[in-house]
Amino acid sequence: MFKESDILKVVKEDILRILSERRRKVPLKLIKAEIGVSHPFISKGVKDLRKENLVCIGGDLISLTKDGEDKAKDILRKHLVLENYFKRTINETEAEAHKKAHILEHYISEEVVKNIKKISTFKEKEISLRELDLHKESLIIDITIPDNELFERVVSMGIFPGEKIRLTNKIPGGIIVKIKNKKFALDKGIAKEIKVLKYEKS
Amino acid sequence: MKNLKILLIGQPNVGKSSLLNALVGPRVIVSNYPGTTVEVIQAEKIFDDTKVNFKDTPGIYSISDRSEEEKVTENVLFEEKLDGVIVIADATSLERSLYMTLQILEARIPTVLVLNFVEDAKKRGIEIDYKRLERILHIPVILINPLTKKGINELINTILKIERISRGDFVVKYDDHIEKAVNKISTQIKGSLPKRFVALRILEEDKDFYKYLKSEKIIRDSKEDLKEHPKVAEDISITRYGTASFIAEKVTRIIPLKKEKGKIQEIIDNALLHKIWGPLTTGLSFLVIFGTLLYLGNFTQKILMNLTESLLSSLGIAKYSLITMILAQGLTGLAAGVSVALPYVFLFYLFLNLLEDVGLLSRFIVNTEKFFKKIGLPGNSFIPLILGLGCTAPAVRATRILPSKKEQFHAASLFAFVPCSSRIAIIIGIVGFYGGIKLALFVFATSLIAGLIWALGIKRLIHINNEPLLLELPPYRKPLIKNVLVKSWIRMKDFVFIVIPLLVLGGIAIGILDILELTNIIVKPFSPITTWLKLPVVTIIPLVFGFLQKDLTGAMLLSVLGSKISLALTPLQIYTFGVASTIGIPCIIALGILIKEFGYKKALLLTGASIAYGLLFAGLSWRIFSTFYH
């Protein structure tokens, strides 16, 4: 059996990593969806991180503090070092190396990780909305539209990180998506700049 | 009497016009916002001892300056001393409406939030605790239903006491960096606008707000401070939306539904957005609409013209006096105006508004998008272009729905190639009747080819940056017939006032030329055209005077050549005549509207260039085809 404190440690480090990878504020909803542990753990994790002055919370949005950024960088660095180590020495596939790195970065036993289902393996699951399969539901994790006015338009229409999104139709030159009960026709170019999670129900 | 100025604001398809209708009824005035083609609807109504002036701008998602509509709304918000704003929110997606509400609260304008589609939301298992929303935002929140008039009286009572509403008690808190920058910029802002709002707009890179700064140096300074925070504008949007979504979640209760709703909606969409069925249905719908309009158009025209004629003959006034001529032309112009306005404006907009309110229009736009992008136009260009098959004049006015001036002008230029009903009458009635239906089809084809070449050329020439497709597809809904009728009526009224004087003037001009026998003298300088077209010299009269009244082109040709046209002209000449009188901005009425929309210079340039292009094309086609015939 694994201890509650172990899970909390994993969760906290995962939260920091997600925040650092996104490089901007992230809704709590998104974190909950990405880290597949029960919500009380996440709420506790966020609370602890705030106490430790690593994150700040505004409404539903969480972002890193200066200290939090440093800490997150450490985690990421560790993660990369381990990943490279596995890739070079054991000649594993990238995905597997990445997974191992995840496991080790939390300094806990593999067994624990196995028990925590759907632990965040974030990067490799990120795809653009264009690549999402028809009728698949996913989660918006980032919007990378460079033009800030277009970015604002997209956001104000309700296309926002943390929202569930479903690809309902493909049309010439674009796609039709559904977010909550609203449907949108999106240009291919815009769809490319919307990053979603490759959803795998476990 | 007290005066109040209130702006209605909300997303597209949120039910703004039905709310305005419920508040004041159909008596509204449509006008252009000065210097733009964006339409602002205004209405006044007296409640007790207060005169309330309502303004309604086009639907937008946020206060921004990306589109003309947004700029106009921004201007109305800040340049006209408003007493308050009514934000109409969609209860089925509250957070989106809250986004804009938060922006308006930042601007510290007294705001009333009304929730529409509450029953819809309930059906989907969404319940909103509006009392709690009131407590969070410190503004009145009212549930409405324009259909049943629910909440309308409460809204009116709230508006009448709008000065008592607190302004801006709720503040979105941004990152520390951003808050610091806001404070810094605030010290450099002049004028009476709320400093926090202006500072935020400046950080969001809205250049329209730079004019409120004492010096623009502060922008560089604050950018320097925010070096570590490169995506400020994005961060502001994210925080604002995050706050909106946080509030929405707090006040919304979702009851899981047993039955999944919206199955039928999905089935219709799968058909309408299908690769093949989508464009096919779209095209067929256009055909049906256009066919109906053309049929009804001819019908009303016949009735009205017969009525005028019998009216004139029953008056029995002596011929050829100036007064009778003016009277006759005036009446004919009036009849012609109504016979255009009724089918091609009222009915067309009735169809269009119906399609829009039902939710079909946006699907059609998605289907036409790809084709129109190829010629440099957005998908909704089909709206003015189809109308152009009826009458060019209202179609030019309808180009306003396109996002930019450049796109509007580009679409307007295509009316040189989209034959209106008068030109279709020439092609079928003259070319088809005297030269055979094949020849008539050739004229249509020539016009289409000439138009495509022109469109691709214009696209290169004026460098249009089309907006990427980003369109909300509203759910299919039952239309509010009364609302649709009112909207179409407004369009017709707007059009009739402009076009009837033009038609009457055109008629009078022809009458005077006729009486004074100036026709031949005026036509003379144009005679080289007939040489180029290889047509008999007299055909210049219908070609030139067709510009004054396109309907009369055929009759004029008959009067100069006699009824045996097929003897006087070879089939090829009939074809050339058809092309020459089809391509180009067709008539003085269309020119009048072009001037109104784009100014003298552009209107005259377009008209001249398109007619010259048409004549060139006609002459060239003659030369190409004649080599085959020999």
- What is the tens place of the pLDDT at every residue in A75-122? 666 555 555 544 544 445 555 555 544 444 443 333 333 333 333 444
- For the segment B596-623, the average pLDDT, to the nearest whole number, is 93
- For the segment B40-61, the average pLDDT, to the nearest whole number, is 90
Of A60, A172, A176, the CB nearest to B245: A60
Q: Is the pLDDT of residue B344 over 50?
A: yes
Burial classification of residue B110, based on how many CB atoms lie within 10 Å of its CB (0-12 exposed, 13-18 middle, 19 or more buried): buried
- What is the tens place of the pLDDT at every residue in B544-563? 888 888 888 888 888 888 77
- What is the tens place of the pLDDT at every residue in B156-198? 999 998 888 777 678 888 877 788 888 888 888 888 888 888 8
pLDDT of residue A126: 78
What is the spatial distance between Cα B312 and Cα B317, in angstroms, rounded to a whole number? 8
Task: Give A175 or B177, the one with higher predicted confidence.
Answer: A175
Residues of A with CB under 8 A from a CB of B: 24-25, 27, 58-61, 63, 148-158, 160-162, 168-169, 171-174, 176, 180-187, 189-190
List all residues of chain B from 19 to 78 with a beta carbon under 8 Å from chain A: 61-62, 64-66
- A63/B175 CB distance under 8 A: yes
pLDDT of residue B209: 85
pLDDT of residue B525: 85
- For the segment B508-531, the average pLDDT, to the nearest whole number, is 80
Q: Which amino acid does the sequence have at B288?
A: V
Q: Which amino acid does the sequence have at B256?
A: P
Name the most confidently modeled range: A168-172, B4-8, B565-569: B4-8
Under the banding of pLDDT at 50, 70 and 90, the label for residue B496 is: confident
Q: Which residues pair with B355 in a beta bridge?
A: none
| Closest C-alpha among B511, B537, B543, B520 to residue B423 | B543
Q: Is the pLDDT of residue B348 over 50?
A: yes
- For the segment B567-589, the average pLDDT, to the nearest whole number, is 92
What is the spatial distance between Cα B476 and Cα B273, in angstroms, rounded to a whole number? 14
Asked if B124 and B95 touch (Cβ cutoff 8 Å), the reply is no
Under the banding of pLDDT at 50, 70 and 90, the label for residue A202 is: very low
Dihedral sign, Cα of residue B306, residue B308, residue B314, residue B317: negative
Q: Is the pLDDT of residue B608 over 50?
A: yes
Average pLDDT, chain A: 73
Question: What are the start-end ranges of the E strands in B453-518?
Answer: 470-473
Average pLDDT, chain B: 86
Task: Tell me phi and psi for residue A96, to 5 degrees.
Answer: -70, -40
pLDDT of residue B114: 96
Q: Which amino acid does the sequence have at B421?
A: S
pLDDT of residue B629: 67
Asked if A143 and A153 touch (Cβ cutoff 8 Å), the reply is no
% of chain B surpassing 70 pLDDT: 97
- A172/B468 CB distance under 8 A: no
pLDDT of residue A121: 42
ipTM passes above 0.90: no
**Domain boundaries B2-164, corresponding CATH code:** 3.40.50.300
In chain B, ranges of CATH 3.40.50.300 domains: 2-164
Q: Which helix (H) or strand (E) holds B43?
A: strand B39-47
Asked if B28 and B43 touch (Cβ cutoff 8 Å), the reply is yes
pTM for this model (two decimals): 0.79
The full DSSP string for A142-189 is EE--SSHHHHHHHHHTT--TT-EEEEEEEETTEEEEEETTEEEEEEHH
- B470/A190 CB distance under 8 A: yes
C-alpha B282: how far from chain center: 19
The helix/strand/coil state of B10 is strand
The structural domains of chain A, ordered by start, are 4-121 (1.10.10.10), 124-197 (2.30.30.90)
Q: Is B125 on the interface with A (CB under 8 A)?
A: no
